[in-house]
Amino acid sequence: MNDQEDSNRGSSNPTLALKDEMYLIEGESAFTYLPIIRQLQSKGVKVISFGIGQPDFVTPAHIREAAKDALDQGFTGYTESQGIPELRQAIVDYLNERYGAGATVDEVLVTPGSKTAIFMAGAAYLRPGDEAIIIEPSYYAYAQVTKFFGAKPVFVAMDFQPGRGFSLDLTKLETAITPRTRLLFLNNPHNPTGTVLSPKAIDEIMDLAQRKRIIVVADEIYDNFLYGAEFRSTISYSGWRDYLIYINGFSKTFSMTGWRLAYMVARREVIERMNDLAVSVYSCANSIAQKAGVAALKGDWTPVKEMVAEFRRRAETLYSLLKDVPGIEAYMPQGAFYMFPRVSRLMKALGTSNVSELVNRLLYGKGVQVLPGTGFPDKAGREFIRISFATSMENIVEGARRIAEFARESLGG
């Protein structure tokens, strides 16, 4: 806690007397760089951004047309808080056909984005003094939600092997469980590393959750971004209703980040309570976006397949360009659209232990934006950077060239 926070809490101005937890949460690092990039661009600098993780593809035309039709038909009012029936049916059909989930429409809650679903999972289960296990490096929202509800994030670091990337030691995961453990946040395919946990690892995690009676909050938003890796969904297990809160959405698969549309799946009794919470928090998801979501799931998936194929080419290109660059410990991502290479040697050469300093030097010196690994808490990312290859092949080639140039200059090569 800093002096300003202490001052605010003692202020005579009631609006500054924020609850303690408001000072524990932190913003997303990807968004903090946007004004810096705009400033550099205003000075004529061509910035290559490997920052925010969103597909650089326009939402497919048939999905946009469905939204236009909904608008033309005047479908602009409130909908059911749980989501329109045809969208929930489309979600169930997708999960049952692809994963054999056996889900029903009364086990689905449509949300305005997956972050809302993550927040609601925390709101529903986390009590002060509880613990939530977070596999790190991690998507930042899990820790923020945990802290906001008075619980403690317990971080379990993945292991890194140069050239091969990240893996999870299940023994470390089990050791982290205590009687206070309430939730386990599981993101697979994984942001920020691009790792896809093996089916065997998922088997063990789900078995562990069942044995230890903890709830897995599974965020599978990248389940269609796979580059040769075998993927097993948590909702494919027959007993999922007893220990799973499943989250997925439309932002990545259908390049619908701005539409704010996602969903949660859980047993019917849980969804009934979540639905009551939804009424109080956001009333319902956007009506027009929901109609578009039906078209996305039930329409032509060719644009999705083409986009994923392009992302695979980008992953392969990025890896080929960085794998021999000194000071960049690169590896081939297995899923999502991120690489999380270690840069400890470059940090040492630059005389810094703060990866954000390296990131800033790269940005101001070469016009390339990456994200510091410290933005993916807790400590596992201190010597890493996240590179999002959700940008054009031209930018990937040019950006990798500049990174390589930066590395050679830093190392005196």
**Residue 35 preceded by cis peptide, ω within 30:** no
DSSP 263: E
Confidence of residue 4 (pLDDT cuts 50, 70, 90): low
- Torsion, Cα of 75, 80, 82, 87 (10° steps): -40
Q: Using CA atoms, how far apart are residues 348 and 306, in angstroms rounded to an integer?
A: 41
For the entire predicted model, the pTM comes to 0.94
d(CA 385, CA 370): 7
Tens digit of each residue's pLDDT (9 = 90 or more) over 165-203: 999 999 999 999 999 999 999 999 999 999 999 999 999
Q: For residue range 296-325, what is the model confidence (pLDDT) as tens digits?
A: 999 999 999 999 999 999 999 999 999 999
Q: What is the pLDDT of residues 94-113, one digit of tens each?
A: 999 999 999 999 999 999 99
Is the predicted pLDDT of residue 293 greater than 80, yes or no?
A: yes
> Residues of the chain with pLDDT > 90: what percent?
89
The amino acid at residue 376 is F
Query: Does residue 1 register a pLDDT over 60?
Result: no
Mean of pLDDT values over 156-162: 97
Complete DSSP assignment for 150-178? T-EEEEEEPEEETTTEEE--HHHHHHT--
For residue 343, the model assigns a pLDDT of 98
- How many Å apart are CA 61 and CA 20, to the nearest integer? 46
Give the Cα-Cα-Cα angle 91, 94, 96 (nearest 5 degrees).
Answer: 105
pLDDT at 126: 98
Domain ranges of the chain: 3-58+303-410, 61-298
Q: Which class is domain 61-298?
A: alpha beta
Domain 3-58+303-410 fold is: Aspartate Aminotransferase, domain 1 (3.90.1150)
- Confirm if 159 and 169 have CB atoms less than 8 A apart: yes
**By CB neighbour count within 10 A (0-12 exposed, 13-18 middle, 19+ buried), where does 140 fall?**
buried
Is 6 a residue whose pLDDT tops 90? no
Average pLDDT, the chain: 95
| pLDDT value at residue 373 | 97
Neighbouring CB atoms inside 10 A of 405's CB total: 14
Q: Tell me the per-residue pLDDT of 345-376, one tens digit each, with 9 for 90 and over.
A: 999 999 999 999 999 999 999 999 999 999 99
Average pLDDT over every residue of 2-6? 55
If you write DSSP's letter for every residue of 179-230 in order, what string do you get?
A: TTEEEEEEESS-TTT-----HHHHHHHHHHHHHHT-EEEEE-TTTT-BSS--
pLDDT at 30: 64
Phi, psi of 187 (to 5 degrees): -110, 115
Residue 25 has pLDDT above 90, yes or no: no
Q: What is the pLDDT of residue 28?
A: 66
